[in-house]
Each structure stands twice: as structure tokens, then as C-alpha cells.
């Protein structure tokens, strides 16, 4: 039996996404609109932090000064480590972290302090696990004028969207930490992108 979200619109969106991923095998697993935006937004001087790793790690490393990436899955960490070495990318601090929120985030603090004099990042991607804790950490560590990205944001913050597994547009955020994040960024400029399968949002910290 087909799941309820397998509507004609969703099937078309899935096919379009699959076609894009086949044509761009090294692109991050973010929405196509956000990838296009980041292609022109990222600077070669940026320090970028990402929670959750993969194709984005290599893609970001080619476009920024330094990437700090946190990954809890041991097998995936080993795979991405080999990919980074094969591609000769040496501007990545790739952290194997534990699952608990404190153990997941604490190593990122130390790595960011080593690569940023003010302990701030220009861009932070909230993906992977413990996203609510990572989002709150990002609020305290994003540089003024910087960008916080939240992938699969439709699962955590309410917003009109056709992507499945989304919160109701008129409902509350996904828990107390997401509520705090929503309140803290309420006046920030933002861009919310969707490909009908999932959503990625960008929150621009005030100067």
C-alpha cells in the first residue's frame, strides 16, 4: 500500500530530485535551491561547521578556508575519512563524536577555538543527530552576519510546505529547544527552500 504522502506531486518531486542527484553526484544532500545559493554565497575565507557529514563535507571543503565536521557513526566516519584522503582535501577537521548531546558538541567547541580567534563560525550546518542541541549551539557560535543552515527543517519548525513528515504550518516547533531557536531567530532574515521532498532553511545572524 502506498503511503499517504505518495501523491502525484510528490512522485514528480522525487523523480526530479533523483535526476538532479544523478547529474550532480558530488552535490550535498540539501535542496537544489539552497545548493545554488551556497555556490555563490560561500567565501574562500569562511570557517564552516557542520553537524553530520558526507558529500557536503567535500563540497564545502572546496569552497571555504576550513571545515569542522562532526560525525557520530563510526562506519560512516571511516568512509568519509577515506574519501577526504582520496580527494586530497586537507582543510577539514573531521571529528568522530559520541551520541550524547554533550559528547557530540564539546569536541566541536575545541576545534572551532583552534581555527577561529573569536570562537565563531561564518556558516554552521545543523544536520545529523541532536539537531535541537546543535541548533542552540549554533546560536551562540555564529559570527554576526553569518549563516545557520538547518536541513530537514520542516520536521522541526512549522512552515507551509509540501514536503512529507512536516510539522503543521500553524503548529508549535518540535520541542522546547526548537521553540527557543524559533524565538531567537524570529527577527532574523531567512530563506526557506523546499524541493517537495525535504526542506533546507538558512537563518542570517544580524550584524
86-122 confidence digits (pLDDT tens)? 999 999 999 999 999 999 999 999 999 999 999 999 9
Using left for φ > 0, alpha for ψ between -120 and 50, and beta otherwise, residue 196 falls in left
pTM: 0.92
Nearest to 150 by CA among 52, 9, 4: 52
CATH of domain 8-204: 3.40.50.150
Checking DSSP bridges between strand 199-204 and strand 66-71, what pairing results, if any? unpaired
Kindly list the domain boundaries of the chain, sorted by start residue. Answer: 8-204
Tell me the C-alpha distance between 86 and 73, whole Å: 20
- 78 three-class SS: helix
Q: Which three cell numbers stand for residue 199?
A: 526542506
Give the list of residues 6+ apart from residue 79 with CB closer than 8 angstroms, or none: none
**What pLDDT, on the 0 to 100 scale, is given for residue 51?**
98
Query: What DSSP assignment string belongs to 99-143?
Result: SSHHHHHHHHHHHHHHH-TTS-EEEEEE-SS-HHHHHHHHHHHEE
Q: Which residues of 48-67 are buried (b: 16+ CB within 10 A; e: fewer)?
A: bbbbbbbbbbbbbbebbebb
Q: Which three cell numbers stand for residue 189?
A: 532574515
Strand-pair partners of 191: 202
**What pLDDT, on the 0 to 100 scale, is given for residue 1?**
38
Block means of pLDDT (10 residues each) for the chain, length 207 residues?
60 69 83 96 98 97 98 98 98 98 96 96 97 98 98 97 93 98 98 94 98
**What pLDDT, on the 0 to 100 scale, is given for residue 13?**
62
Calculate the average pLDDT of the chain: 93
Amino acid at each position: 500500500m502506498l503511503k499517504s504522502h505518495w501523491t502525484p506531486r510528490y512522485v514528480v518531486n522525487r523523480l526530479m530530485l533523483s535526476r538532479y542527484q544523478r547529474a550532480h553526484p558530488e552535490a550535498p544532500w540539501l535542496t537544489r535551491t539552497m545548493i545554488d545559493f551556497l555556490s555563490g554565497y560561500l567565501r574562500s575565507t569562511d570557517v564552516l561547521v557542520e553537524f553530520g557529514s558526507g558529500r557536503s563535507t567535500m563540497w564545502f571543503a572546496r569552497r571555504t578556508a576550513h571545515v569542522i565536521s562532526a560525525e557520530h557513526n563510526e562506519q560512516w566516519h571511516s568512509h568519509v575519512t577515506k574519501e577526504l584522503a582520496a580527494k586530497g582535501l586537507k582543510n577539514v577537521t573531521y571529528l568522530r563524536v559520541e551520541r550524547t548531546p554533550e559528547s557530540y558538541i564539546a569536541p566541536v567547541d575545541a576545534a572551532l577555538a583552534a581555527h577561529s580567534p573569536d570562537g565563531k563560525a561564518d556558516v554552521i550546518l545543523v544536520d545529523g543527530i541532536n539537531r535541537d542541541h546543535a541548533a542552540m549551539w549554533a546560536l551562540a557560535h555564529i559570527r554576526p552576519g553569518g549563516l545557520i543552515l538547518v536541513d530537514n527543517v520542516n520536521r522541526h519548525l512549522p512552515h507551509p510546505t509540501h514536503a512529507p513528515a512536516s510539522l503543521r504550518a500553524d503548529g508549535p516547533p518540535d520541542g522546547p529547544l526548537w521553540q527557543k531557536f524559533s524565538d531567537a531567530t524570529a527577527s532574523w532574515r531567512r530563506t526557506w527552500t523546499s524541493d517537495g521532498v525535504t526542506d533546507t532553511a538558512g537563518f542570517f545572524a544580524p550584524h
